[in-house]
Amino acid sequence: MVVPPLCRRLKRLMKSAWADRDAEALVASGANSGIDRDLALRIYTTRLLGQEPRLVLHGGGNTSLKQSVRDRFGGEVEVLRIKATGADMAQIDAAGLPAVRLAALRQLRALDHIDDAELVQIERGNLLDPAAPTPSVELMLHAFLPHQFIDHTHATAVLSVIDQPDSEAKCAAVFGSRLAYVPYVMPGFGLAKSAVAAFEANTPSDGLILGKHGIVTFGSSAREAYERMIEMVTLAEDFIARNGKAFAIAAMPREIAPVAAVAPLLRGACSLKDTAVEGAWQRLVLDFRGGDRILNSCAPLLPRLAQAGVVTPDHTIRTKNWPLVLPSPQPDKLDEFKKAAHEAAGAFMRHYRDYFKRHNARVGGIKRELDPLPRVAMVQGLGLFGLGRSKREAIIAADIAEEWLAVVVDAERIGRFESISEADMFDCEYWPLEQAKLGSRPDLPLAGQIAAVTGAGGAIGAATAKAFAAAGAAVALLDVNLAAAQEQAKAIGPSALAVACDVTAADSVACAFTEVAASFGGLDILISNAGAAWQGRIGEVGEDVLRRSFELNFYGHQRASQAAVKIMLAQATGGCLLFNVSKQAVNPGPDFGPYGIPKAAALALMRQYALDYGADGIRANAVNADRIRSGLLTPAMIASRSKARGVSEKNYMSGNLLGREVTADDVAQAFMHQALELKTTADVTTVDGGNIAAAMR
Ligand SMILES: [Zn+2]
């Protein structure tokens, strides 16, 4: 099948989003907080650029403004306001455009070379506000060019035109003399010097093309620089529309395995055994983008393109230089896919380590190797996955991978995609100033891991989900009450996932775990927590009551565990099952048999999982908690029970050996401890403040 060039993606030429009303509203609100008109409009067009993903993605791109401001002694000082490194342009405010004394920066042009550390020192030393964030790595380019307003993006259409072997000739054809061409130089001081030299030699009217990197436009107003950017991007889009060849869609197998079945296999293949800690794995969270006809369309070219490199240098830190490419997963041949995924991931990592070794030797062996795991996987016929140490990182990688595909496909339609050299990619990937964009990343104990909590809408479940998310895990909150799970997920943050799950219904459990695997790529830790209490004197209680309690308090654990173990075995990187068992399992209360007996069975269930799956690296542990304020022990129950015993509520809640009230957070910490103890399985941790009758023996 051949698709006409324009209908494959929804192609509309970019238009200026400038609106006088919005611009003036920002100027007016800025005036109230001491922001002058130029700065307010600089903020306005920076946001316009940042809101358009075809212009700017995840911290790529930057803007600046030169102006005179008064220093604290009333003197005039000329400053460059430039986007802070890594700041989000779509939501920028004045604080995201730190001011640097311009004279000091301009003096540096006389130097032939300056090393990065010294440059950062000079930048930070000349900040008007010493506490301001660090300016963009492209600060010097903005400083050396004379224009008042400068915009820089890595616009999709422009990259398709300039990522070509004949980049300069194509630019001349598209932009004429309106943009001067600067051949590729690594971002930083060297690029700034080349850019200003190209400007002075050619005096272009609108801006510059930075070869294999992006576009710069300038102007005497925020609107002029912004609208020149839009116009130039439109020229590139129009050139592609007029000159782009049709692209054949490759034939794909009719039957493709579902994402939830493929993702854990891929995730397992893209995990790394920790050589320092036995039983530990370095894992990644996944983000899937499907239904991708673009990916299918370039399937025949993927083996070549996958080796071709990034579309703009700063993507190396998010996606590495190459995607992992995998064959179509057929539903009845998942074993073959698993084998192919492991081989391909192994080859990817060997290739990455060789690449590091080669180029680290070239630069004198001074760099520290990053992990060799892929950050993008393209699965033919299915779609692509972003991979990251958190869901957020995975989403960013997937966004950039989609951008990569869009650029590369259009580049191939008008010529042949060509990236910067491997050495240039290495220099960017291992450039400390690029790495700084990622911010300081403390290695959280559960980074890269995926946890699912059942009963997450309740007190203990919610506290546990919160604790695991704070420890770096991607967390799915499962609850029969979806609204309750959503409320708790919202409190955790945008990457927490709320899923409806009734653990007493097999279909509901299957759906919920499918959703977890499809959303995050797999599962490493199950906290099987959902439960409810039934009472009745055991000799008289109705069988229906006992059965209902068993459905939830025993079979609920079993269903969730089975679903979790299936995913864990597909990943083949071990895992952890944690059960909320309650002290009732070992210390029954009068007339509480319908609750305690299935809990005792759940304790035996935990031991059985520990026994049957220990060899697979899957651990199983339980927490016996007692007297926690929750849906099972409501304020009304606390009031009536303490009254019945003739003690205060406080004394009732802390009626244990330590005299301390036990909270849902204490239980969450016990689960956390069990999740982190890689040499502990079949363990029961008691969280009850001390109750000798409930002590394990
Ligand atoms: Zn750039």
Per-residue pLDDT tens over the stretch 33-43 = 889 999 999 99
User: How close is the Cα of 188 to the center of ligand 1, in Å?
Assistant: 10
Residue environment code for 553-566, b if the CB has 16+ CB neighbours within 10 A, otherwise e: bbbbbbbbbebbbe
User: How close is the Cα of 62 to the center of ligand 1, in Å?
Assistant: 7
Which of left, alpha, beta for 183 (phi over 0: left; psi -120 to 50: alpha)?
beta
| Helical axes 222-243 vs 167-175, angle rounded to 10° | 110
| pLDDT value for 425 | 95
- Would the pLDDT of 5 be above 50? no
Mean pLDDT for 539-548 is: 97
Predicted confidence (pLDDT) per residue in 658-673, tens digit: 999 999 999 999 999 9
Q: Which among 8, 58, 54, 53 has a CA at the least distance from the CA of 375?
A: 58
What is the DSSP secondary-structure string of 439-468?
------TTTT-EEEEETTTSHHHHHHHHHH
Size of the chain, expressed as the number of residues it contains: 697
Q: Say whether 385 sits in a helix, a strand or coil.
A: strand
- Would the pLDDT of 651 be above 50? yes
- Would the pLDDT of 11 be above 90? no
Q: Measure the CA–CA gap between 453 and 656, rounded to whole angstroms.
A: 28
User: How close is the Cα of 383 to the center of ligand 1, in Å?
Assistant: 28
| pLDDT value for 174 | 97
User: How close is the Cα of 154 to the center of ligand 1, in Å?
Assistant: 6
User: How close is the Cα of 662 to the center of ligand 1, in Å?
Assistant: 53
> Which has the minimum average pLDDT: 10-24, 434-448, 562-576, 594-608?
434-448
Predicted confidence (pLDDT) per residue in 380-410, tens digit: 889 999 999 999 999 999 999 999 999 999 9
Dihedral of CA atoms 467, 471, 473, 475 in degrees, nearest 10, equals 20
Predicted confidence (pLDDT) per residue in 225-261, tens digit: 999 999 999 999 999 999 998 877 777 777 899 999 9
Predicted confidence (pLDDT) per residue in 96-146, tens digit: 999 999 999 999 999 999 988 888 899 999 999 989 999 988 999 999 999
State which amino acid sits at residue 55.
Answer: L
Confirm if 165 and 211 have CB atoms less than 8 A apart.
Answer: no
Q: What are phi and psi of 628, to 5 degrees?
A: -110, 135
Q: Say whether 263 sits in a helix, a strand or coil.
A: helix
Is beta strand 575-580 parallel, antiparallel or unpaired with respect to 618-625? parallel
298 token code pair? 């370039």
Active site residues per annotation: 595
Predicted confidence (pLDDT) per residue in 210-230, tens digit: 999 999 999 999 999 999 999
Tell me which of 439 and 159 has the higher pLDDT. Answer: 159
User: How close is the Cα of 196 to the center of ligand 1, in Å?
Assistant: 15
Q: What is the mean pLDDT of the chain?
A: 93
Q: Measure the CA–CA gap between 397 and 406, rounded to whole angstroms.
A: 14
User: How close is the Cα of 152 to the center of ligand 1, in Å?
Assistant: 7
Predicted confidence (pLDDT) per residue in 141-185, tens digit: 999 999 999 999 999 999 999 999 999 999 999 999 999 999 999
> Which has the minimum average pLDDT: 10-19, 84-93, 350-359?
10-19
Predicted confidence (pLDDT) per residue in 492-502, tens digit: 998 899 999 99
| pLDDT value for 439 | 59
Is beta strand 207-210 parallel, antiparallel or unpaired with respect to 497-500? unpaired
User: How close is the Cα of 550 to the center of ligand 1, in Å?
Assistant: 60
| pLDDT value for 697 | 67
| pLDDT value for 251 | 75
3-state secondary structure 386-402: EEECCHHHHHHHHHHHH
| pLDDT value for 453 | 98
Bridge partners of 525?
A: 451, 576
Q: Measure the CA–CA gap between 117 and 140, rounded to whole angstroms.
A: 14
User: How close is the Cα of 61 to the center of ligand 1, in Å?
Assistant: 5
| pLDDT value for 282 | 95
3-state secondary structure 50-119: HCCCCCCCCCCCEEEEEEEEECCCCCEEEEEEECECCCCHHHCCHHHCCEEEHHHHHHHHHCCCCCHHHH
Block residue for tokens 């008007």: 128
11 token code pair? 């192609």
Q: Measure the CA–CA gap between 611 and 605, rounded to whole angstroms.
A: 10
Q: Which among 192, 173, 174, 112 has a CA at the least distance from the CA of 182?
A: 192
User: How close is the Cα of 124 to the center of ligand 1, in Å?
Assistant: 20
Block residue for tokens 């959703």: 515
User: How close is the Cα of 354 to the center of ligand 1, in Å?
Assistant: 27
